[in-house]
Structures are given as C-alpha cells and as structure tokens.
A and B are shown apart, each in its own frame.
Chain A
C-alpha cells in the first residue's frame, strides 16, 4: 500500500507550486492518473520514485516511511518506473538492460529467456532486438516498447508508467494492454499509469484526476469517467484515436 501525506512540490526556479497538499492512499491494483497538461501527473509519479524530492510531506510504502530514501533504495524496495521519454545509451544493448531488470537471481540462460519473453510481450521479435544497441538506431516507438518491457521485466510490487501509450501505434496498443494484464496477473502488486487513453481509463480500478496540482477526483474508474471534462477524453486527438480503433475493431 502506498500512502502520500501532505505532499507538495514547489519548483526552485520559478517558485511554482506543481503539487499542492496531496493526500492519497493507493491500495488498489490498477490505478490510472489523468488530468490536463501541467496538472502535476508526471511530477507525482517522480515523487513516488524518488526522482523528485517533495518540498513538504511524507511517503509511505507498506507502512515504511520512504521519503528520505534514494531512487536506488526505492527501486530495491519494489518500485519500478517506465519513463515517458526513454533514455538512450550508446553501447548498452537491449539484452544488458533487460537482464538487469530481470534481477540478479536470474542467471545465464534463464536470464536470457526472461529477456526474450518480455520483448515478445511488447510485440518485438526477441531475435531481432535482443542484441541491438539502445542508441539512436532504434525508433521512438521501439524505444518506448523496450522501456515498457524493462519496467514489466522487473515485476515489482509497484510499477509506475508515465504515459506508456504515447508514441505507440494502435496495433501495439493491444500488446500494451496485454503487458498490463500479465503484470497484473503475475505480480500481486500495484500498477499506476498516467494516461489520457479512454481504453486504459476504462479498465482502471480507480482513477486519480489531477488538476492544478491537486487531486480533483479519486474514485472508482466508472464514477470518475462520468465526471471527466469533455476536453480530456473527447478531445480531437482522443476522438480520432477512438474512431480509428472502432474502425479497426469492426
């Protein structure tokens, strides 16, 4: 269970309040975080991972105060993070990072097989990708899928995804949903996803709707969906995506 108490975050440079007195208890398995641009969604997840240190407030994971723990310590306590914009590494291969994600307890062939399995899960042929360098020879979409695979490969009790659908085409959107389903099934943990995608919001146990750095709504998915402003789920892009998906489904 994750608990945030009076979390606020004020930027050093512009003295802008990005998060305002967030109080939140996450004890559901699949929680979507949504809200307009600039509402503080990414900052909230980065505060949980320890990438951003909150200005005030405390964070508890399964009763332990983790506010002062480093990113590494939080990762080792079972938090994983998939970045919205994946980082590239010259020289490091897909296999290197997937094996790191798979954990030190997996060795040799087992570690390799696990890496191949997670790649297949995100719709990438392991044979073609396992030896590729994570440099600019991979497209944005490929990097994004590998990023998701890395977070899923860790199989931790809390996995945070920052807009996983951004940059993913409709075909692989299906794979993406399957990744979440598998992670949901295989871990007894919690998945938190920042998303604007109606189909992800639809399957969430709960939705957090952030606005201006505050939690405007936090409730069961269907209840929040009924109140969501029209510009969020029915914006021009969302409508286009929905239309294309309906066409594909037909």
Chain B
C-alpha cells in the first residue's frame, strides 16, 4: 500500500474499491487531491492531464482480461475538487474498470468531489465498470459528490455499469449519458440508499442511435428517514433498437421518491419499455422473516440488503 496513506484513507480504499493492498494491473489512487500511487502496464497507460485536474487512461486495442483501478479518497475536511478522467478503450478489448470515491469528513467544512468520467469504447470491446460511492465521518461538514459519466459506444461494443451509493453522502447529483452505435449494448445497474436528510438525484439518459443497439437500465433505491431521491431515466430510440428501463424503489419513514421514466421513439422499429414502482416493505415480507427468527429490524435490514444486492 502506498506509504503516504493513513489508516482512514486505507479504510476508505477498502470501502470503495475492496482493496487491502495495491491492486494487480494498472491503477491510479488519488488521495486528498494528489496522486498517491500509480502503475501502468504494457497495454494500459495512465497520463496526468496538463490542462486540468485528472487523468487519461489509454487502453490499447486487443487488451483482454485486464483491470484498471482508479479510486479517489478524501479525508481532509473542506477539500473540494473537480476531476476529469477520460478513458480511451481501443477496439476488441475486454477490461474491468473499478472507480469510486470515499469521503471521510470529521471536520466542520464541506468536502466535495465532482468527477466527469468520459468513456470512448472502441468497436467490439467489452467494458465492465464498477463505481462505488461512500461517505463517513462525524463532523458537521457535509460529504458531497456529483459524478457524471459520459459514454460513447462504438459499433458492436458493450458496457456494463454497476454503480452504487449506499448511504453516507449528504447530497449528490449523478448523471449518466450514453450514445450507442449499431449493435452496441449498455447495461446499467444503479443502487442508491439515502437516509437522514440526504438528497440524491440520478439522471440516466441513453440515445440508441444505431440499428441493433440496446440498453437495459435498472435503478433500485431505498429512501429512509426524511431523505429524498429523484430518478430520471430516459431512452431515445432513434434506430431499430430495443431499450428497457426500470426504476424500483422502497420508501420508508418520511422519505420522498420521485421516479420519472421517459421514452422517446423517432424510428418505427424502436422497441422501448419502462417500468417504475415505488412501495413500502410489505408487511408479509417482515412477517415471513420473523417466523424464521429475525426481529422486525433485522428482517427490514435483510430485505433492504437483498433489494440493493
């Protein structure tokens, strides 16, 4: 592990990237606005941007079964940063990219990380992208994150996103925008849990521009306490394509959830579907788990954990 990292930073790294030690393959660990550790490989290069904060991740064509980890951790109260990371993925690649941000704020000032990740996915490449957001700390300063993900899928490519934010972040605006060329596919699984007075807004939009392109976007949310969540999912079907969007939410306590699916078809061959559901935990679900020995609170936790699994 990079020697300059302290215990809090290492713990954050574990939460966002499941890393106990430096990962295998390429990585760039950003801690409190500085690069804390970096490794490149023969096929994956990482270059610091000269004109603005951030990095370019360049993956050579034909790179298979390799991974890139680029976690960001902030433990300095009051730190605010805006980072631009661009991913250039060549043709015929098969890679996993693990990103995420952890903020530990024990101070009185707000800590904030805004990031724009832009992916250029080359022809016939497959990318799995995992992004976790996590916040902790007892200070009065807020933990704020505003991630934007921009994706351009070239012909025949496929990108699968698993994004999650399970508590700890006071306020977030998560934006994902994608454009899909012919034969490409986008799969999104987005999970979010808010509690207390947290607010979260997720905006996911996809343009299916090529024949045979498709998307499957599933958003699952749990709003506890007095928290508020908004989810907007939109699909534009501009070719002979198929798209599916699903917003599924559990509302608890005095939470507020707004789910807005939107479909636009400009081509007669576009087949688009959306589903949206908001509901509380069903009484019979709690009863069932209680007949198996769990308390009501344990049953509730198990249902939420499973829902966001």
Interface bits B275-309 vs A (CB < 8 Å: 1, else 0): 00000001011011111111110000011011111
Q: Quick check: is A59 within 8 A (CB to CB) of the other chain? A: no
Which chain B residue has the least Cβ–Cβ distance from A91?
A: B306
Q: Quick check: is B114 within 8 A (CB to CB) of the other chain? A: no
Does A72 contact B306, Cβ atoms closer than 8 Å? no
Kindly identify, within residues 84 to 126 of chain A, every residue whose CB is under 8 Å from any CB belonging to chain B.
86-87, 89-93, 96-97, 100-101
- B285's partner among A72, A76, A89, A101 (CB-CB below 8 A) is A89
The residues of B that contact A93 with a CB separation of less than 8 Å are: 306
Kindly identify, within residues 108 to 153 of chain B, every residue whose CB is under 8 Å from any CB belonging to chain A.
none
Does B292 contact A51, Cβ atoms closer than 8 Å? no
Bin chain A's interface residue count. 20 to 34
Q: How far is the CB of B254 from chain A (nearest CB, A)?
A: 23
* A75-B306 contact in complex given A87-B282, A87-B288, C-beta closer than 8 Å: no
Which chain B residue has the least Cβ–Cβ distance from A101?
A: B292
Which chain A residue has the least Cβ–Cβ distance from B296?
A: A72
Dominant secondary structure of chain A at its interface with chain B: mixed
Dominant secondary structure of chain B at its interface with chain A: helix
Please, how many residues of chain B have a CB less than 8 angstroms from a CB on the other chain?
Answer: 22
The residues of A that contact B294 with a CB separation of less than 8 Å are: 72, 100
Q: Quick check: is A150 within 8 A (CB to CB) of the other chain? A: yes
Does A89 contact B291, Cβ atoms closer than 8 Å? no
Does A75 contact B290, Cβ atoms closer than 8 Å? yes
Q: Give the distance in Å from the alpha carbon of A86 to the alpha carbon of B285 in the complex.
A: 9
Which chain B residue has the least Cβ–Cβ distance from A70?
A: B290
- What are 12 A-to-B residue pairs whose CB atoms are below 8 Å? A49-B291, A76-B293, A79-B291, A80-B292, A86-B288, A89-B307, A91-B307, A92-B306, A92-B309, A100-B292, A100-B294, A154-B293
- Given contacts A83-B284, A100-B302, could you give 13 more A-B pairs where the C-beta distance is less than 8 Å? A49-B291, A72-B296, A75-B291, A75-B292, A75-B293, A80-B291, A80-B292, A90-B306, A90-B307, A92-B306, A96-B302, A96-B306, A101-B292
Q: Which residues of B contact A (CB under 8 A)?
A: 220, 248, 282, 284-285, 287-296, 302-303, 305-309
